[in-house]
Structure 1
Amino acid sequence: MSKILVVDDEPDISELISLHMMREGHECLCITNGLEVMPSALNEQPDLIVLDLMLPGLDGLSSFKRLRADSRTRSIPVIMLTAKTQTTDRINGLELGADDYLTKPFSPRELALRITAILRRTKKVTHVSEVKTGEFLLDRKNMKFFYKGQPIDLTTTEFKLLAVLMENTAAVHTRAELLREVWGYSDDVATRTLDTHIKRLREKLGDAGKHVVTVRGTGYQFSMEAPAVAVAA
């Protein structure tokens, strides 16, 4: 679980971001005033900050400069978020060293994907050689998968797909995320490839295939207990 600090004075925006971050398995902290940025960053040491530029107390750019000026917060990744659409604002933020930039209105899914990409790039999200969940064991080093101690023969693509799902069982993985992580697609292209592989994966898992659940309108999740919002396809 990564800790995300959201700085935005619009409660609806903060709540929306928090909801999606928690669905992705992250812890989310929210503040509304630019003067709270440095104290919160020092006390909480978040893994990433989503920072609105239009803030009361102290504007986002000034808050960002303070973060970068202090050695204790300098390395925290920052995504700037603002209603401004002028190119100069985007350039100013990136020139100051922001890791990414989004303008309002924005897609919560896109924000979540950008956060995941930044966390991986900064090694805040790591892959372990073995992933064990209940009676499932995924051995990344040897590309082997076991259920109740018995090996299950998976193709390379099926293995990669299952690895992404099992690495964070708290997260609901979007179709776009899975297509990018497993197949390298840059967009949420219209393809049945993902659905076909999910179906084959469930067939190979047999009764245990119920743990690969479909979340309507979003994507897939590996869950030991199917959540109320998810149903097996």
Structure 2
Amino acid sequence: MPRTVLIVDDERDTNDILASFVRSRGFEPIQLYAGAQVKAAVAEHKPALILLDVMLPDLDGFAICDDLKRDRETNLIPIVMVTALQEDHHRVTGVRVGANGYLSKPFTPEALFRTMDEALAWSDEHRKRGTSGEINFDIRSELTYLQQANDMLADMFAHTPLTDRQIKDLKQAVMEMGGNAIEWGHRKNADLVLRITYRIDSEAITLIIQDQGPGFNPGDVPHAASDEDPIGHIDLRNELGIREGGFGIMLARGLVDDFRYNARGNEVTLIKRLDAPDVDATTR
């Protein structure tokens, strides 16, 4: 039985052309003309690939892609955006929502087949190897770039067995520790590079946040909150003229299963085990 390719495009001529090309490669095309039909069609046909227009009459194609990629039932289905939108920022949006390819109209058969093959190869490799490996993000020391990197990490978390609550916890821990690195490690020097390393294996997700600052003694942080005395640091902060805060380390420590600094204090490791149960925030 041939594998199916879901084609979503309200322009019937383009839809028919895509269907003929898909059929020539041995796939069975499933043709849709509106975005609202996608979820039901994906559940029914379990396509090997989705060719998705962006400018649909009812729903935005980017939003459809984002929704499918955040759902564990569908996030391994490769999606190629097929669109007349050709600006760089449109392509960046495609990457942000998890698209596996971006094909601009008008396109040649060769370009379509190449993009399809690349997307299908991604899917085959991902299913064969599972979620494993390492990715490094090197970003400027600005909260905007940290948030963007964290959003991309969240897209990868969605490919794991983590629950939505665990993903939310991990995102918050990254923002807390990344923010600390920017403010204290780099003293808000945006030109310094912050490195975030993402590792995953069958047992856990490991995140390492490393700054280029001089570091500190992780065992002696009197202006930070601690489990033993969560508010004792406030008076010291007032004396030193430091803004309110100091809860980031304590908070992040409670959001992950393992939390540790290196000896120099410029690198923090966060580990979330894939088999760990959710912990209600009120019990932390």
TM-score (norm 2): 0.42
**Residue 94 of structure 1 aligns with which residue?**
95
CA shift at 1:81, angstroms? 1.1
Count of residue correspondences = 125
Aligned identity (percent) is 33
Seen in structure 2, the aligned counterparts of structure 1 residues 97 and 14 have a Cα distance that, compared at 3 Å, is: same
Q: Contact conserved, 2:78 with 2:122, CA < 8 A, in 1?
A: no
**Which amino acid is 1:66 matched to?**
D
Q: Contact conserved, 1:17 with 1:108, CA < 8 A, in 2?
A: no
**Residue 64 of structure 2 aligns with which residue?**
63
Structure 2: distance between partners of 1:121 and 1:73: 14
**Which amino acid is 2:29 matched to?**
C
Give the SS at the match of 2:124. coil
Q: Contact conserved, 2:51 with 2:82, CA < 8 A, in 1?
A: yes
Structure whose alpha-carbon radius of gyration is higher: 2
CA shift at 1:118, angstroms? 2.3
Structure 1: distance between partners of 2:120 and 2:85: 25
Q: Contact conserved, 1:48 with 1:119, CA < 8 A, in 2?
A: yes
Structure 1: distance between partners of 2:120 and 2:67: 21
CA shift at 1:13, angstroms? 0.5
What CA RMSD, in Å, does the superposition of the two structures yield over aligned residues? Answer: 1.7
CA shift at 1:79, angstroms? 0.3
Give the SS at the match of 2:56. coil
Q: Deviations over 1:108-166 (max 9, x none)?
A: 23112221232233228xxxxxxxxxxxxxxxxxxxxxxxxxxxxxxxxxxxxxxxxxx
Alignment of 1:73-88 (within 5 A): 73-88=74-89
**Residue 52 of structure 1 aligns with which residue?**
53
Alignment of 1:143-158 (within 5 A): none
**Residue 120 of structure 1 aligns with which residue?**
121
Q: Contact conserved, 1:16 with 1:108, CA < 8 A, in 2?
A: no
CA shift at 1:65, angstroms? 1.6
Structure 1: distance between partners of 2:102 and 2:48: 17
Structure 2: distance between partners of 1:92 and 1:72: 22
Alignment of 1:125-204 (within 5 A): none
CA shift at 1:94, angstroms? 0.9
**Residue 110 of structure 2 aligns with which residue?**
109
**Residue 27 of structure 2 aligns with which residue?**
26
Q: Contact conserved, 1:79 with 1:99, CA < 8 A, in 2?
A: yes
Structure 1: distance between partners of 2:104 and 2:42: 23
Give the SS at the match of 2:58. coil
Structure 1: distance between partners of 2:54 and 2:13: 16
Q: Deviations over 1:26-54 (max 9, x none)?
A: 11111010111111111111011000000
TM-score (norm 1): 0.51
Gaps of at least 5 residues in structure 1 are 125-233
